[in-house]
Amino acid sequence: MSAHRLEPLINPGSIAILGASENPGRVGGMPLQLLLQHGFAGPIYPINPKYKEISGLVCYPDIESLPGPVDLLALAVSAKEVVPQLRRAAAKGVRSAVVFASGFAETNEPEGRRLQDEFEACVAEIGIPVAGPNCMGFANLKTHAYTAFASVFRDLEPPSRHSVALVTQSGNVCAAVYTAGRKRGVDFSAAVNTGNEAGIELSEYLEYFADQPETQAIAAYVEGLRDGRRFRRVATRLRDEGRPLIILKIGDTEKGAEAAASHTASLAGSQAVYRAVFDELNVMMADDLAHMAELIRLAGFRARTAGPRIAILTISGALGALLSDKFVQAGAEVPTLPEDVQAVLRGGIPSYGMVSNPVDLTGNVVNQHGFMRDALAALEGCDAVDTIVIYAPGYLLERLSPAAIDAAATSRKLIVAIDNQNARNHAELEAAGIPVFDDTARAVAALSVFGRWSERTRQAVTEVAAPVPRQAMALPARGGALDEAEGKTLLAAHGVPVVAERVATNEEEAAAAARALGWPVVMKVLSPDILHKSDCGGVRLGIGSEEAAREAFRAIMRSARAAHAEALIRGVVVQPQEAPGVEVLLGVTRDPVFGPVMTVGLGGIFTEILRDIEHRTLPVDEARAGAMLRRLKAFPLLDGARGRPRRDVAALCGAMAALSEAVLAAGDAIREVEVNPLLVREEGKGVVALDALVVLEPGRATKAEAA
């Protein structure tokens, strides 16, 4: 028996059903029918005072009358009855429970919220694992311990082997993915619907299945996570063990830009952060239910060496071109084959057939299908490709199958067949280790994701340790935004290069500061209450004389006070006007699930309109910073595209790592940081922060203060 606290819930030895029914169409009747139909070996206790017996089983009037210990109680009762019955179950010694009833927080109504608060308090008090509410229930396909009321478990033949755990935040999705997976031969071990997760969060279910050695892959439908730390821990473990985690994540809950203090906060919406975390942890991301089912199926072939470099064998030049386009568009590669491999292929392919990749076997292969062995042998030995895709419809696939099956028996590479005309030997091919697709689009979508997962699984992963702060942080006790000068002082203390500047509280100080810094200068209003300075006329550029500096000071004060009468205005900040360079937006926001997340993007239209941005959770070191930058579509502007000067990418990476350190050194004290713009000079000349916004959490201490 597993020591995990969810063991009695997912792998119970005895099951009681409160609200049991003799009608299999009712919520309390379907689980009972499934337990009997599939031969659950443990005791089954129906509970309902209306019946003396159901389907030959003694039916008990209440929980207290149960004759023995119960691992799992399924509650098919109304929402208002749930908490009293849970208390009675705990008093009886029931070890876990699953609650079907709806009418809780999912209603978005006060009464539903009140019932869920009461439910959560009860679960915390009684101390047993309780799934739901608003839950379809579970199916343990290994032991046939069913508490689910979904007919798919009645109508579909259960798997004979068990290697894939399915966990979903929707009952309907659970049934749909299970159905699609079974049609593709997926060997599910369990199907779990988490419901409202009032007592057990999705990541704890993932953790349970990760603890089962027989679980070779986990698939999850996610609307939102609550425990980002636990999720990272489980996903990291699965990644490092080479076990696939496949997730379909829906629901873009991005905050509106008008509600955010900075551009970074609006750009780093939660959906983008989820995708960044999944990418970091090598999670396979599904796009829809069918795609998810295909990825689950491919997980069963993970022992094969797959990857993103695709070799295509086809009898049609047109289909080869189509597949090539689709694979490249999906992020895979169709590399040109080496000359020696092409020479082997040319030995059996007429001059009008392409051999460079895609490989057009032409109709000639119908008469010389034995050549398929030579073609596959050449590709198996080719280091330029990872995955071999064969497009051959119907009867032709049947003719070519012996060669493909023999090749699969000796090759570690993944060989895949696409057949849209229903050859009769799909099962034979699958048994030999060759997945068969009946649709080109689904094949491309699944193989591109699976290939990338396979490649990254073979790569060593180096975790970044959180840096030791180079010095204690002295932050104001107040919450809210710092003014620009305070923010840049904080960042500079941790190694982020900032522009030289002086603060002026009157026009004479402004003129003196400008003279000392050298012409031309930039002048900006200095206020913790004015976050977007240019919107209120709070910025002046190209100031070239003392008189111009005095006038700029007066104009900024008038404009800022007119627009923000209640704002605390401390004066202006005066800076040298920097020569043009490439502007970068760099920021960190605190995601409610995963904690601090860095966002980087090139400034101007690339950030605002094209949303060419990258995200990564902290810590970010220089190597990870470089990887983020290279994924930007606009990275060539930093790298010297079309004769432009190369920019100091190394210094930019250093600034990103320094910002990561600064935020982590502050513990939970910093809510948000934005450096916009960070000017990237020519290679070797560094970077400089021209503006900075730092927003503090109210009432939180820094690590330094806590120590």
pLDDT in tens, 482-520: 999 999 999 999 999 999 999 999 999 999 999 999 999
User: Are 220 and 189 in the same domain?
Assistant: yes
pLDDT at residue 466, as a whole number: 65
Strand-pairing partners, residue 234, are none
Question: What proportion of the chain, given as a percentage, has pLDDT over 90?
Answer: 84
Query: Is 559:536 a contact under the CB 8 Å cutoff?
Result: yes
User: Are 217 and 265 in the same domain?
Assistant: yes
pLDDT at residue 256, as a whole number: 32
- Map residue 109 onto helix, strand or coil: coil
Q: What is the CATH number of the domain that holds 519?
A: 3.30.1490.20
User: Are 424 and 505 in the same domain?
Assistant: no
User: Are 59 and 118 in the same domain?
Assistant: yes
The span from the CA of 96 to the CA of 5, in Å, is: 9
What are residue 43's phi and psi, to 5 degrees? Answer: -65, 140
Q: Is residue 175 part of a domain?
A: yes
pLDDT at residue 532, as a whole number: 87
Which pLDDT tens digit goes with each residue over 102-145? Answer: 999 999 999 999 999 999 999 999 999 999 999 999 999 999 99
Residue 39 neighbours by CB distance under 10 Å: 8
User: Are 509 and 360 in the same domain?
Assistant: no
Residues 6+ apart with CB under 8 A from 383: none
Confidence of residue 263 (pLDDT cuts 50, 70, 90): very low
pLDDT at residue 282, as a whole number: 97
Encoded tokens for 180? 């699609």
User: Are 89 and 164 in the same domain?
Assistant: yes
Q: Which of 231, 263, 298 is at the close of a domain?
A: 298
pLDDT at residue 367, as a whole number: 67
Q: Is residue 472 part of a domain?
A: no
Q: Is residue 489 part of a domain?
A: no
User: Are 284 and 310 in the same domain?
Assistant: no
pLDDT at residue 468, as a whole number: 62
Confidence of residue 316 (pLDDT cuts 50, 70, 90): confident
Confidence of residue 524 (pLDDT cuts 50, 70, 90): very high
Q: Is residue 477 part of a domain?
A: no
pLDDT higher at 648 or 698: 648
Q: What is the CATH number of the domain that holds 449?
A: 3.40.50.261
Strand-pairing partners, residue 165, are 190, 218
Q: Count how many domains the chain has.
A: 4
Q: What is the pTM of this model?
A: 0.90
User: Are 231 and 248 in the same domain?
Assistant: yes
Q: What is the CATH number of the domain that holds 265?
A: 3.40.50.720
Q: Which of 519, 547, 576 is at the close of a domain?
A: 576
Cβ-count burial 241-279 (b if 16+ within 10 Å, e if not): eebbbbbbbeeeeeeeeeebbbbbbbbbbbebbbebbbb
pLDDT at residue 362, as a whole number: 85
Confidence of residue 609 (pLDDT cuts 50, 70, 90): confident
Span 192-202, mean pLDDT?
95
What average pLDDT is seen over the chain?
92
The span from the CA of 435 to the CA of 432, in Å, is: 9
- In this model, does residue 261 exceed pLDDT 50? no
User: Are 115 and 23 in the same domain?
Assistant: yes
The span from the CA of 164 to the CA of 452, in Å, is: 20
Q: Is residue 493 part of a domain?
A: no
Encoded tokens for 329? 């568009």
Q: What is the CATH number of the domain that holds 687?
A: 3.30.470.20
Confidence of residue 272 (pLDDT cuts 50, 70, 90): confident
Span 206-221, mean pLDDT?
96
User: Are 394 and 526 in the same domain?
Assistant: no
The span from the CA of 525 to the CA of 557, in Å, is: 7
The span from the CA of 553 to the CA of 574, in Å, is: 10
Which pLDDT tens digit goes with each residue over 456-474? Answer: 999 877 666 666 655 556 6
Q: Is residue 475 part of a domain?
A: no
Strand-pairing partners, residue 502, are 574
- Structural domain range at position 588: 582-706
User: Are 208 and 329 in the same domain?
Assistant: no
Which pLDDT tens digit goes with each residue over 151-181? Answer: 999 999 999 889 999 999 999 999 999 999 9
Q: Is residue 216 part of a domain?
A: yes
pLDDT at residue 479, as a whole number: 78
pLDDT at residue 363, as a whole number: 77
The span from the CA of 554 to the CA of 548, in Å, is: 10
Query: Is 225:249 a contact under the CB 8 Å cutoff?
Result: no
- In this model, does residue 2 exceed pLDDT 90? no
Which pLDDT tens digit goes with each residue over 354-371? Answer: 999 999 988 776 667 788
- Map residue 410 onto helix, strand or coil: helix
Which pLDDT tens digit goes with each residue over 8-19? Answer: 999 999 999 999
Cis peptide before 244 (omega within 30 of 0): no
Confidence of residue 269 (pLDDT cuts 50, 70, 90): low
pLDDT at residue 705, as a whole number: 40
- In this model, does residue 538 exceed pLDDT 80? yes
pLDDT at residue 259, as a whole number: 35
pLDDT at residue 251, as a whole number: 72
Q: Is residue 701 part of a domain?
A: yes
User: Are 221 and 358 in the same domain?
Assistant: no
Span 558-574, mean pLDDT?
96
Q: Which of 560, 576, 592 is at the close of a domain?
A: 576
Confidence of residue 447 (pLDDT cuts 50, 70, 90): very high
DSSP 163-227: -EEEEES-HHHHHHHHHHHHHTT--EEEEEE-TT-SSS-HHHHHHHHHT-TT--EEEEEES--S-
Question: What proportion of the chain, given as a percentage, has pLDDT over 70?
Answer: 93
pLDDT at residue 380, as a whole number: 95
